[in-house]
Amino acid sequence: MAKKLLEMRSITKKFPGVKALDNVNITVNEGEIHAVVGENGAGKTTLMNVLSGVHPYGSYSGDVFFDGQPCRHQGIKDSERLGIVIIHQELALVPYLSIGENMFLGNEQQKRGRINWHQTHQKAEEYMRIVGLREDPRTLVKDISVSKQQLIEIAKALAKSVRLLILDEPTSSLNEGDSRNVLDLLLRLQREQGVTSIIISHKLDEIAYCADRITILRDGSTVETLDNEGNEVSEARIVKGMVGREMTKRYPSRSRMIQDDIAFEVKGFTVYHELFTERKVVDNVSLKLHKGEVVGIYGLIGAGRTELAMSIFGQAYGTKAAGTVIKDGVSLELNSVPDAIQANLAYVTEDRKGSGLILNNSIMHNLTLPRMDFVSENGRIDKDLERKTADHYRESLGIKTPTVEQQVENLSGGNQQKVLLGKWIFSQPDVLILDEPTRGVDVGAKYEIYQIINDLVEEGKSALFISSELTEILGMCDRIYVMNKGKIIGEFPAHEATQEIIMNCIMQESKGEIGA
Amino acid sequence: MNSLRTTFRNNLKQYMMLFALVAIVIAFQILTKGVLLKPMNVSNLIFQNAYVVILAVGMLLCILTGGNIDLSVGSVVALVGAFAGTFIITWGWNPHLSILLCLGIGILIGVWQGFWIAYMRIPAFIVTLSGMLVFRGLTLIVLNGLTLAPFPSGYLAYSTGFVPDPFAGLELFGVRNTTSLLVGILIAVVYCVIQVMGYLGRKNKGYAVESLWTLILKMAVISPAVIWLFYILASYRGIPMVLIIVGIVLLVYSYFTSHTVMGRHLYALGGNEKAARLSGVKTNRLLFLAYVNMAFLAAVAGIVFAARLNSASPQAGQSFELDAIGSCFLGGASAYGGVGTVGGTLIGALFMGVLNNGMSIMGISSNVQQVVKGLVLLAAVAVDAMSKNKLPFNLPRFGKKSLEGQQSVES
């Protein structure tokens, strides 16, 4: 009987307006690799934040036991003292410090405040050897690749004498080979050092490959824990747990009225990276949208989807963009965002807080921003018209707020997302580019957003739907493009596409063969 | 009712500063035994603070773009004064044309700084720090280190003069300058008419309107205040010319920031530059124009200030930038950009001005004055920061709270 290292019992955590975790139970045994899977918003990250003390004791209900002892973490320091180390999706290394300095950041090899550099570098080399890295510990972190940085993070955790290693999407920004490397390292650490780890990932094949047990979360609750000792759990089995319900109920139906006219077309689009101008991020992409059609772009993070969308939208991203953009049969020159807006394109960003909304402005000011010319005359704002317009969108989109004067930062995630969508619907676009339109939004609001999208295409508009949730793409789109490493590698009508076909398409491409 | 409360909360900082201003005026009125609000001193207050208000309005636009400040304004004030002195006193040019030329020089300075800040994306702090040195140095070169004086009366009229009084000798209500009183009443009436018309217009079109009481309260406070100010001015020498310049600046920029598309874009830029850019705001151009405008207003202030000194001095305008920046932050502007109003900035500038003037009348040494001003600035911004976090007395929890706030969205 394996010893329980961690036990979390009936954890419930509420945020204003959302129950992020609802009676979650999870047990991790000593020496195992335990996977936590679930859709976006299922509560994985929140659960890990409860464990690591980011959400302090008292802000949630339920009990956490580590090594049989009850835990009442007030902050990350408390959990680290027990040997719980979390490696976040965005790496937390300081780019302008050396490998050695990073590895012992906050844990310096020191004597009375004076750093022992010899010991720092020696130990850094030691830990790097364990994770299979051969680098000079004096190298600056910014000068090594992302996959090596990931390994440095793991080595850093080992240096803190980790007992439970938590990896949040460790492979999301790595390619296939490097990902396999990280997973193999985890397996080796488990074998040789007895390291217990929790891995959170969207990549189900990786989970099936390395996890001993799999806990599935859905809508903030634990669905089940699967035993994967013999690596016999299939991806389909995991998906069934994650999705749970029949697909048709998750997506509102719409009357398909795709017209024959091509509304929007991109031909031979190529874009280079903004900073590393030699690197192609979008490579000769061609795609088309019919009127009344929802077209999906699926790809892993880093496939170049956002870069493609933003560079189409008036070259808001990248350099040396080349290619043709055709709308309603007319070739367009879109050199700036105002050009794109004038051409009735809209881009709903994936990062609503970072680049979507002006958080300290009111709902009204956010809604009208893209087309101030609709509510102004000769540069003078018609405030009454603006308010009337804002009230109209508040009602029609069901934004839950007493007044449109409310600052956007006071709204829940779902309502913020509706404001973001609303501002682009207000811009009266013919073509909407939706980049992860339901990210960080709970299930109820998701359904409403899908409904809004359906209403738009039923009016004859077209939508380009970018998402990293495959189920969502399959549920919402009429046609699906698969993108990988900046290229379109496959195109499927919705009725032919399945999760397996699409994942296979990406897998084969990654292996260097021409897929689909 | 809810919307009223939201409006009130959004403007709370401004109301708080307004109350603070009234409180400090009353306090100094008592401490100076009534000297503060004597007609002559009120005129003095206006002369002393006109240039600060003009600079602060320009500074507000820079701060709105994202907490950028302009350190060079004091040097620009001096340089423009130096050119005015050289053109008018040394070379004997026409004062009116010289003023136009000086404003043009201001705009050129703005183009220079704006280019580096907006298009080359060099931090405004550094560009304007450089400008502070460069323009001060140029002032010394232009003036050859000497002070030029005096200006002819044609130039002085723009700033230190008073509006002529066609009703001289009428002595309505026993005041010396009847024009001033009439102007005050006229402004109050026009203000009320505009407010009522706006209210009725909105009501007729069926838009949500503020409550009638709010409107009446607003008019009942503002109209008497305006009439009272002009009554005091009427008891001295009437309306200072510079008050008209300041009034125009305040009106124009207050309208610009609240009623124009470009003004709205300015707030969007400061609130979230990436989002503004993706919404079609021409962010670089806007940032550029904010600095061109700043230098233009600094030139206006330079002309006003040179006239007040009645000389072009190489030492003019030192530490003006700090007064302007301080006024903005006292008036509720956010150090991160995107928040702040012209009205608030005016209140901030008046607060600083009354503090200066009141302490001077009381004979407090200028050394102590600086300490007091510094502490007041910190206190005002600290109160704001703490009220936002709603955790005034429990600072250690602050870090965790904010972290939790960030995490909540990702999960």
> pLDDT tens string for chain A (516 positions)?
578 899 999 899 887 666 788 889 999 998 899 999 876 667 888 888 888 888 888 888 888 998 888 888 888 888 888 889 988 877 788 889 999 999 988 888 888 888 889 999 999 999 999 888 888 999 998 888 888 888 898 898 888 888 899 998 887 767 667 888 889 998 998 888 888 999 988 777 788 888 899 998 887 888 888 888 777 777 777 777 776 654 446 688 887 778 888 999 999 999 998 887 888 889 999 999 999 999 999 987 678 888 999 999 988 887 777 888 999 989 998 889 999 999 999 999 988 888 999 998 999 999 999 999 999 999 999 988 998 999 999 999 988 888 888 889 888 778 899 999 999 999 999 999 999 898 767 666 788 899 999 999 999 899 999 987 788 898 899 999 999 888 999 999 988 888 888 878 877 776 544 333
B2, B207, B334 member nearest A403 (Cβ): B2
Contacts of B277 in chain A (CB under 8 A): 316, 337
**Range A313-343 burial, b when 16+ CB lie within 10 A, else e:** bbbbbbeebebebebeeeebebebbebbbbb
- B41: which 2 tokens? 């001193």
- B410 touching A, CB under 8 A? yes
Residue type, B348: G
Dihedral, CA atoms, B25, B31, B33, B38, nearest 10 degrees? -30
Answer yes or no: do A45 and B407 touch at CB < 8 A. Answer: yes
Answer yes or no: do B264 and A369 touch at CB < 8 A. Answer: yes
- What are the φ/ψ torsions at residue A226 (nearest 5 degrees)? -100, 145
Same domain, residue pair A107 and A73: no
B262, B280, B407 member nearest A49 (Cβ): B407
- A142: which 2 tokens? 């910014």
B2, B202, B278 member nearest A402 (Cβ): B2
In this structure, is residue A220 part of a structural domain?
yes
Q: Of A225, A244, A263, which one is at a domain's C-terminal end? A: A244
Contacts of B201 in chain A (CB under 8 A): 384
Answer yes or no: do A370 and B280 touch at CB < 8 A. Answer: yes
CA closest to A55 among chain B residues: B404
Mean pLDDT of B232-239: 87
* ∠ Cα B260 B262 B268 (to 5°): 110
- CATH code for the domain of A185: 3.40.50.300
Report the pLDDT value the prediction gives residue A515, as an integer from 0 to 100: 34
Mean pLDDT of B299-328: 92
Please tell me whether the peptide bond between B166 and the residue prior to it is cis, using omega within 30 degrees of 0: no
Long-range (24+ apart) CB contacts under 8 A made by B283-286 are B284/B118, B284/B119, B285/B118, B286/B65, B286/B118, B286/B262
Same domain, residue pair A167 and A79: yes
Report the pLDDT value the prediction gives residue A510, as an integer from 0 to 100: 62
Q: What is the Cα Rg of chain B in Å?
A: 22
The mean-pLDDT minimum among A471-480, B155-164, B369-378 falls in B155-164
In this structure, is residue A479 part of a structural domain?
yes
Structural element, H or E, at residue A417: helix A413-426
Query: Which B positions 328-357 lie with beta carbon below 8 A of chain A?
Result: 334, 338-339
B408/chain A closest Cα distance in angstroms: 7
What domains appear along chain B, each with residue ranges and CATH number?
A: 13-157+258-388 (1.10.3470), 162-239 (no CATH)
Residue B154 has pLDDT above 60, yes or no: yes
Answer yes or no: do A384 and B404 touch at CB < 8 A. Answer: no
Contact B409, A351 (CB under 8 A): no
Give residue A130's domain range.
Answer: 96-160
Same domain, residue pair A423 and A445: no
Structural element, H or E, at residue A27: strand A18-29
Coil, helix or strand at residue B281: coil
CA closest to A417 among chain B residues: B409
Query: Which A positions 290-349 lie with beta carbon below 8 A of chain B?
Result: 310, 313, 316, 336-338, 340-341, 347, 349
Same domain, residue pair A492 and A368: no
In this structure, is residue A91 part of a structural domain?
no
Contact B298, B106 (CB under 8 A): yes
Same domain, residue pair A218 and A287: no
pLDDT tens across B197-220, in order?
888 887 887 666 677 888 888 888
Overall domain count for chain A: 4
Coil, helix or strand at residue A377: strand
Quickly state the pLDDT bin for B115 (edges 50, 70, 90): very high
Residue A361, strand partner residues:
none
Burial of B175 (0-12, 13-18, 19+ CB in 10 A): buried
Same domain, residue pair A456 and A361: no
Same domain, residue pair A420 and A498: no
Which residue in the block uniquely carries the two structure tokens 């183009």? B111
Rounded distance between C-alpha atoms, residue B270 and residue B228, angstroms:
37
Rounded distance between C-alpha atoms, residue A412 and residue A399, angstroms:
10
Contact A435, A347 (CB under 8 A): yes
First to last CA, chain A: 47
Contacts of B7 in chain A (CB under 8 A): 405
Query: Which A positions 29-88 lie with beta carbon below 8 A of chain B?
Result: 41, 43-46, 49, 54-56, 59, 74-75
How many residues does the structure list for chain A? 516
Structural element, H or E, at residue A84: strand A84-87
Contacts of A413 in chain B (CB under 8 A): 409
Residue A295, strand partner residues:
A464, A479
A74, A338, A402 member nearest B280 (Cβ): A338
Same domain, residue pair A167 and A77: yes
Same domain, residue pair A434 and A499: yes
- B12 touching A, CB under 8 A? no
Q: Which stretches within A194-326 are classed as H helix?
A: 204-210, 235-243, 247-250, 305-312
Same domain, residue pair A369 and A335: no
In this structure, is residue A212 part of a structural domain?
yes
In this structure, is residue A451 part of a structural domain?
yes
A44, A337, A380 member nearest B280 (Cβ): A337
Same domain, residue pair A306 and A274: yes
Rounded distance between C-alpha atoms, residue A476 and residue A498, angstroms:
13
DSSP A100-163: HHHHTTTS--EETTEE-HHHHHHHHHHHHHHTT----TTSBGGGS-HHHHHHHHHHHHHHTT-S
- B259 touching A, CB under 8 A? yes
Residue A83's nearest CA partner among A177, A8, A234, A195 is: A195
Contact B226, B191 (CB under 8 A): yes
In this structure, is residue A89 part of a structural domain?
no
In this structure, is residue A504 part of a structural domain?
yes
Q: Of A383, A407, A428, which one is at a domain's C-terminal end? A: A428
Same domain, residue pair A73 and A183: yes
Residue B123 has pLDDT above 90, yes or no: yes
CA A64 from chain center: how many Å?
27
Quickly state the pLDDT bin for B359 (edges 50, 70, 90): very high
Report the pLDDT value the prediction gives residue B389, as an integer from 0 to 100: 56
User: What percent of chain B clears pLDDT 90, i.e. is strictly above it?
Assistant: 60
**Range A405-444 burial, b when 16+ CB lie within 10 A, else e:** bbbbeebbbbbbbbbbbbbbbbbebbbbbbbbbbbbbbbe
Rounded distance between C-alpha atoms, residue A271 and residue A338, angstroms:
20
Answer yes or no: do B408 and A20 touch at CB < 8 A. Answer: yes
Answer yes or no: do B400 and A56 touch at CB < 8 A. Answer: yes
Rounded distance between C-alpha atoms, residue A100 and residue A329, angstroms:
58
Mean pLDDT of B263-272: 94
- B406 touching A, CB under 8 A? no
Q: Of A428, A446, A466, which one is at a domain's C-terminal end? A: A428
Contact A369, A423 (CB under 8 A): yes
In this structure, is residue A273 part of a structural domain?
yes
Which residue in the block uniquely carries the two structure tokens 């233009």? B296
- Predicted structure pTM score: 0.80
| Sign for the pseudo-dihedral over CA of A414, A420, A423, A425 | negative
Looking only at the bridges linking them, the beta strands covering A61-66 and A33-37 are unpaired
